[in-house]
Structure formats: structure tokens, C-alpha cells
Amino acid sequence: MLVQDERSISLESFSLMSMQIKKSGLLRRAPENFLDAHLRQAITEQGLNDERRGFLRKSFAAASAALVSGVAIAKPGTAPEGDGDPLILNVQDHAKTLGNPVVMQGYGQPSKFEANLQRRQSPGLTRVPQASVSFAPLQGFFGIITPSGLHFERHHQGWIDIDPQQHRFMINGLVREAKVYTMDDLMRLPSVSRMHFIECGANSATEWGNVAVPTVQYTHGMLSCCEFTGVPLSVLLDDCGIDRKKAKFVLAEGGDGSAMTRTIDIARAMDDVIVAYGMNGEMLRPENGYPLRLVVPGVQGVSWVKWLRRIEVGDQPWAAKDEAIHYIDLQPDGLHRQYTSVQECKSVITTPSGGQMLLEKGFHNITGLAWSGRGKVKRVDVSADGGRNWRTARLEGPVLGKCLTRFNIDWNWDGGPAILQSRAMDDTGYVQPKINQLREVRGTRSIYHNNAIQSWSINEDGEVSNVQVA
Amino acid sequence: MSRLPKMKMLMKVLGALVLASTSLTAIADNHPGIGRAATPKEVAAWDIDVRPDFRGLPKGRGSVDQGQQIWDGKCASCHGTFGESNEVFTPIVGGTTKDDIKNGRVAALSGNSQPQRTTLMKVATVSTLWDYINRAMPWNAPKTLTADEVYAVTAYILNMGGIVADDFVMSDDNIAEVQKRMPNRLGMTEKHGLWQTKGKPDVKNAACMKDCLKEVQITSELPVFARSANGNPAEQNRMVGAVRGVNLNKATVVKVRQPAVDEGLKLAKQYACTACHGIKDKVVGPGFAQIAEKYKGDANAEASLIKKIKLGGSGAWGAIPMPPQGHVKDSEIKTMLDWIMRQ
């Protein structure tokens, strides 16, 4: 059996090597680049045996020796040593063996090499895992759609997995007839499919007073965007004969332990709200409300009630627990703003972002996400000098209302310090504010609805970190 | 004139009438066969919400004393004996004064005198407290309290906050009086632009493009302790692409992933072999490493050991017999032996 210290390879020489590489203006190479692919694969799959340990020692010795003699190792962009890259010159194992059969995995999984991208908790943020948050790894996403398994989580009393055949949905209150629908009923009705972002009202809450967390996963990861399928709430309210004169608000209620309730004004309820069962082409995931949730485009996630069991039509707001004790925004005068709902225009650069490291000087694609709860993103500007000068980024299509929009802009990093920022504008003309502008009005204790411009500082080593600037 | 054309006309008119009545039905009932009327008892079972005007509040009553008993049994373990605990959840009680009860505004909210906001400092509406407890408490057994118990627990919390007296009995009759004593009853505002889609924003930035600042000042940086508080970025970023995660463990070691859970050990545990055999040393029977040592280089080891395992035996390692394991498949024994011989 392997003992612990044999499983961890001491790499003092490697560390020394990194420092020297850094000084010479080159970059740290991941240690696995010193090993050939076959050995790397064998170690990953089977761990170390004596033979593989021997190889490792030799590899590191060779790497260190190469360094001391001043030879750069596998520097990208330079000609390879000898005849060329052995990964090209030698036929790889995977190219000369039989691959796996179909349906080895009845439900496909990401490559094992993608395991670093997980939703994660932020230690110390919450004290009970059933009333907690897991953040989506925005730093690794492409485009605008969040993979269902990486959609951020926010539960108030744990998540549940309801048998859809046992699920019931009720509409009552100011309607001609209170009605009960089964999932069969709902899925028989004409459906719509819409792409929308969902952002927790407390996204970026840690940054109100000062910089507190290291990466975009934790600063902005309570954000996801999916295609949702379901029935417009207006269709169902009409089906029950909503009293259009008296109805002013609806209450959405969940079927879980917390029985989450939120008030939604009637104009919005009759506009683009969806009673949804589908997400990204399949049913909702249990963590996201399977089999039924409310989709309230442009509004903070808490109103997107999961495990939706009931809509009540009324003429006054309800001051429910999550709109009268939680999810209220403390202002400097001691008043709390109640029923804050809209997620105002916001953007963030996802690469390069905090905790990442640029590997090389030269060309880089700055990429990020922009969104607005009031409509479409109209423009995104990017600064590399902390907000002194700005250039307008390219918006990738489609640009949809109340949906994430991907932006990209070319950038040549000269190897010097830089501060990257993005600033979005929506089709109402509203411009994403600076953190100081928000603080002047709302102070630093309002927790929710922080849509400030995010700054990422890059040092000479290429290391990116979270900063705030003025 | 023949009567035929008239008949045709009549048929046309009738046809039009039939069509009209069909479409009228469709307008009155958009989706025939979808959904059904809820029964009054179904609506009553689910329509549990209580509004600030107490619409939806069931009849009932509960005393501070009764509330204390329920509290001690079902609430105190998370919220603390006096609702003050900050261990599992944020505190419920604390931070309010007699003046606040008089004024309807919690003074501590506009200063920084309280390190944390308690529920009683925030909540403006007593209906919210009642509804919260009724729908979501106790934490691990929500919706198990009777209406009277909810009144009692609500009364006890308010008593701890000095809002109702020790001998108070709270009920649907007097809850409106209690509302008049809520310490932060005037502490909410809906005057902001974040309620409606078309609400007016409270900040206005300009999209300046050139020479927007004279000097860029870094006002806040990540505290040193926070760099690693969320784990190692190297392990939270993709291993290919334009960037890597910063490796905070770069100093001395590179961790190589543990070998995949060994199938042999898994089986040894599954069949409870490990109850008597240690990995290295003797427990009741010999350690697996000792077996490996003894049979190393023995060409017949596998065949011989399969037999011993299936039939059981004693004597080789002492007097305590090994019970026969005839139910274990040969293939599984081979897998286990493959693992044992590597110990």
C-alpha cells in the first residue's frame, strides 16, 4: 500500500524552478507538462507504483536540470525541441485502441478533465447547508446558457424531489373559480420557451463594504441563465377567470418545507411570468424546483418560487417572511426598502477574472456577461486602465430581453499592471454604476441588489485579483 | 321560384349559427378538459397565508407561558433560550427598546450600535411573524404546530422583546393591538425604483469613454486571509485555455489523485472480511499484508487461497477457524486476492 508521503511528491526544486521562470519573463508551467501523456494518464487512473514513482523522480530531476542550464521548457509559441511534439509524432494510445460503446452512460457526463468546474459553497457565508447557497462557476462558462447541473442553488429549507404525478398546482383568490391543475394538465396546455437570466438579489452582497471574496464564482456566481419552458401565468389566470378589476397582486407559494412566498404585482404577473416545468430541454432539476417553478423574468431569484404549489390573486401585498424579514434592503436612514425586485443592469468580466492567471503576454480575449432586469443589453464598454478609458465590446447574439448577453473584446496584454472593468448599458439608457455611486445612495449595509462595476487587477505575473477602485 | 335556394340559404344560416355557438363556448372556456374546480376544503388546506391586515388569520389563542414551553422544547435548540442565539441562525430577539415600541422605528438601525440585525429589529408586521412560524417552523418539522401553538410561540417571542407582558394571551381578537406596538412598524418603505420594471433608478452613471478619471485609486483589496478562504483557484478553473487558476499550493507539494477505490478492498469490506483481518496486522485472523508476505512467490497461491476461503479452515495462523465463504463468487475472490497480494 502507498503511504501518504509517497503519494505527495515533494517539489522544492519545482518551486525554485517556477520562480526562475517567472523572473525570466516566462511563465509557470503546470507540473503535469513535464510528464508524458501516457504516464500522466496512468498516474491519474491507477496512482503511483514503484515504476511510475521512478519516472516521476527522473522527470523532475530533468526539469530542474534543464532550468539550471537555462533551457526554457515547452514555452508556448516557440518551436519544439527535436523533431517536434511527441504528442503529434507518436501515435497516441487513444488513437490506436477501441473506444467505448454507446450508452456506457445512459445520461452523459462531462469529461473527467472538467471536474474542477463545480458549484461551490463559500465557507462561512451561511451556517446551515439547507439554508445556503452554492455558486455557479462563471469563470468556466461559454456563451450564455448555464448547464443545468451547474445552475446556482439557493434553498431556504433544503431541496426536495417531488413525484410529478403527486404534484398539484392551485390558483385561488380573486378568480371566478379556484382551480386545481395536475402536471398532466399543465403540460397539455400550449407552452412557451424563453431564455432568461436568474440572479439572486444577494449576488455580490459580500462586496458592499469592501472586497471580500477572491473569484468571480463567489462575487457573481448566484447567476444563471437557461431556456425555460412552461405556460404563461396569464393563460392560467385567465383560465380561472381572474377578476381584472380587483386583482392587484399575486402571491406565489412553494410546496417545500419553507413554503416560500413572494408577492408579484399584477402587471408583471400578466406580462411575461411563466409557470415552468422545463429547463434547457429537459425537466427542471430538483434543486431548481422540479417539477414546477415560477419564472419571473428580470426579478431576483427568490420570487422564482420553486416546487410551486399555488398562486393566490389578491388586492394587497402579503409582507411574507422573505419580503418583510429577509430580502429587505437597509438604507442609511434606518428604513428598509421592501419589495425590491428588479435586478438592474449589470455586467462582469469572467475571463480574465479574480484568482486566474494569464499564461502569456500578448493577445487575450476579454470575455464576460451582461444583463438587465429591465430589458435588453444595449452596449458594454471595457476598460483596461481602471476606468480612465473605455472601448466598446462586441455583443454576441442573440441579445434577448432579461437574458444574459455574452460580450468579447480583443486585448493585448503588455505584461504590465492593468485593471479590467466592464460597464453595461441597457435599452432604457441606464448605465451600470460604480460601487461608490451605489454607496452614496444606499450605504454599505443593504446587502441586496449590488450591481456595481467589478474591477479585476492584473499584476506583472499575470495574476488577477479582486479590487475596488475610485 | 323553387324552394331549393331558400333551403340552401337556411342551411347556411343555421351552419353559421352552429359555428358561432361553438366559438362562443371556446371563449368562455379556453381549454376544455384542463384543470378542475378546487373544493372548499382543498383551498382551506393550502390557503394558509396571513396578510398584514390579518386576512387569512385563523381563530385561536395562546399565552406567553404556553409559548415558552413550546419554545424550550422545539425552538431553543437552534434559536437559544432567549431567542438571542447567533449560532445556527441570526438572532430573533434583541436590539429593540421601549422608545422603539413607542416610536415605531428601531433607532439602532440608523446607527451602528447593533452588530447584527435581529428579527424583531427588522419586522414591521406581526402577521409576518405569525405566518413565518406557521408555515416554516420548526425548522426540521414545518407546519406541525397548531394555530394555538403558533399564537403562543409568537406571544413568547414578542414577550422576550418586551413588546407584550408576561401574562399576555395572544389571539385573533387582540393581534391588531399588538401590531400597534411593533418596534419597527414604521420602518419599511416602498419608495424606490426596484419594485416595478419601469421604476426610476436611484443612481445615474454616465458612459464616459475617454480620460474619465484623473487618477485611479485602489480603495480595497482582497484581504490576505481571504485569498485561500474559498479553496485553491487552481482546482476551481479549467486545466486548459487562456488562463489557469492561481495555484496557492505551489510551494512544496503536488497532490496526485488517490488511486481509484480498490475493487478488492471494497469487496473485502462488503463481505466483512475486514472484521477479522486487518490490512497490515492480525486482528482475529492474519493481516492481509501478512498473507501477501507468506504467499509471495508461491505459484499456487491463488488456487490454494481460493480453496481456503471457500472451504474455511484453521491451523495455518492459529487455532481460531476461518468460517467457509462458499457464497462468495470465484471472480470476486480473485479480485480480492489480487488486491491482498499487493499489500
Candidate from A45, A235, A257 with C-beta closest to B136 = A257
pLDDT of residue B29: 59
Are residue A190 and residue A258 in the same domain, yes or no? yes
Task: Please name the member of A139, A179, A357 whose beta carbon is closest to the beta carbon of B36.
Answer: A179
Tell whether A332 and A365 lie within a shared domain. no
Q: Is there a single domain that holds both residue B268 and residue B170?
A: no
Q: What is the DSSP secondary structure assignment for residue B280, as one 8-state letter?
A: S
In Å, how far are B66, B165, B166 from B63, measured between CA atoms?
A: 5, 10, 9
Site from A338, A422, A432, A461 to mutate, B interface, most B CB atoms within 10 angstroms: A338
Question: What's the whole-model pTM score?
Answer: 0.78
Query: For residues B117 and B109, is the Cβ–Cβ distance under 8 A?
Result: yes
The C-alpha of A230 sits at a distance from chain B's nearest C-alpha, in angstroms, of 15
Cβ-defined contact of B230 to A385 (cutoff 8 Å): no
- Residue ranges, chain A, pLDDT below 70: 1-78
Residue numbers of the domain that contains A405: 346-467
Q: Are A250 and A322 contained in the same domain?
A: yes
CATH at B126? 1.10.760.10
Distance CA(A416)–CA(A435), nearest Å, equals 25
**Residues A412-465: pLDDT tens digits?**
999 999 999 999 999 999 999 999 999 999 999 999 999 999 999 999 999 999
Q: Is residue A121 part of a domain?
A: no
pLDDT-wise least confident of B17-26, B278-287, B324-333:
B17-26
Q: Is residue A50 part of a domain?
A: yes
A127-130: Cβ within 8 A, 24+ apart = A127/B87, A127/B88, A127/B89, A128/B88, A128/B89, A130/A155, A130/A157, A130/A158
Residue ending a domain, choose from B145, B163, B179 = B179
Pseudo-torsion of CA A296, A299, A303, A308, nearest 10°? Answer: 20
* A259-to-A331, A418, B82 alpha-carbon distances in Å: 28, 47, 26
Verify that A323 and A361 share a domain, yes or no. no
Residue B5: the pLDDT is 52
- Look up residue A140 and give its DSSP letter: G
B203 has a chain A CB within 8 A of its CB: yes
Q: How many domains does chain A fold into?
A: 3
Q: Is residue A251 part of a domain?
A: yes
The verdict on A326 and A225 lying in the same domain is yes
What residues of chain A lie within 8 A of the CB of B217, using their CB?
Answer: 469-470
> Is residue B84 domain-resident?
yes
Please report whether residue B26 resides in a domain: no
- Domain membership of residue A119 (yes or no) is no
Classify A227 as helix, strand or coil: strand
Count how many domains chain B has.
2
* Side-by-side strand order, sheet with A261-265: A261-265, A249-254, A308-314, A168-173, A179-182, B36-37
Whole-number percent of chain B with pLDDT over 90: 59
**Cβ neighbours around B275 below 10 Å, total:** 11
A366 touches chain B (CB under 8 A): no
Residues found in chain A: 470
What's the number of CA atoms in the CB half-sphere (13 Å) around residue A441? 17
Asked whether the beta carbons of A425 and A345 are under 8 A apart, the reply is: yes
- What does DSSP assign to residue A131? S
Residue A123 falls within a domain, yes or no?
Answer: no
CB atoms within 10 A of CB A42: 17
Q: Phi/psi of residue A60, each to 5°?
A: -70, -35
Same-domain pairing of A371 and A405? yes
Q: Is residue A298 domain-shared with residue A363, that is, in the same domain?
A: no
Domain annotation covers residue A109: no
State how far residue B314 is from chain A, nearest Cα, in angstroms.
27
Residues A195 and A244 reside in one and the same domain:
yes
CATH (domain of A444): 2.60.40.650
Is B75 among the domain residues? yes
With a CB-CB cutoff of 8 Å, which residues 374-393 of chain A face chain B? Answer: 374, 379, 381, 385-391
If contacts are CB pairs under 8 Å, which of residues 216-235 in chain A contact chain B? Answer: 217-218, 235
Domain with B284, as residue range(s), is 263-314+321-340
Residue B154 lies in a domain: yes
Do the Cβ atoms of A152 and A222 come closer than 8 Å?
A: yes
Cell of B11: 342551411
B302 found inside a domain: yes
> A156 in a domain, yes or no?
yes
Q: What integer pLDDT is reported at residue B9 of this predicted model? A: 55
Using the 3D structure, point to which of A310, A337, A364 is the last residue of a domain.
A337
pLDDT-based confidence at residue B253 (cuts at 50, 70, 90)? very low
Between residues B280 and A119, the one the model is more confident about = A119
Determine the pLDDT at residue B6: 56
- Residues A13, A142 within the same domain: no
Residues A167 and A309 in one domain: yes
Asked if residue B252 has pLDDT above 50, the reply is no
The last residue of a domain, from among A72, A95, A118: A95
Is residue B36 scored above 90 in pLDDT? yes
**Interface probe, candidates A342, A344, A349, A440, chain B, greatest B C-beta count within 10 A:** A342
- In a domain? residue B32: no
The CATH number assigned to the domain holding A232 equals: 3.90.420.10
Region of A229 (left: φ > 0; alpha: ψ -120 to 50; beta: rest) is beta
Q: At what angle do helices B330-340 and B301-311 cross, to 10 degrees?
A: 120
A300-309: pLDDT as tens digits: 999 999 999 9
Cell numbers placing A113 = 478533465
* Same-domain check for residues A308 and A421: no
Compare CB distances from B216 to A332, A351, A387 and report the shortest one's residue: A387
Q: What is the DSSP string of A16-74?
A: HHHHHHHHTT--PPPGGGGS-HHHHHHHHHH---HHHHHHHHHHHHHHHHHHHTT---S
* Strand pairing report for A168-173 and A153-154: unpaired
Cell numbers at residue A210, please?
Answer: 469592501
Residue B30, in any domain of the structure? no
Domain boundary, last residue among B179, B204, B233: B179
Last residue of a domain, one of A337, A360, A379: A337
Residues A150 and A281 in one domain: yes
Point out the domain boundary residue: B179, B200, B216. B179
Q: What is chain A's percent helix, strand, coil content, to nearest 5?
A: 25, 30, 50
State the pairing for strand pair A308-314/A168-173: parallel
Residue A105 counted as domain residue: no
Q: At A2, list the grid cell.
A: 502507498
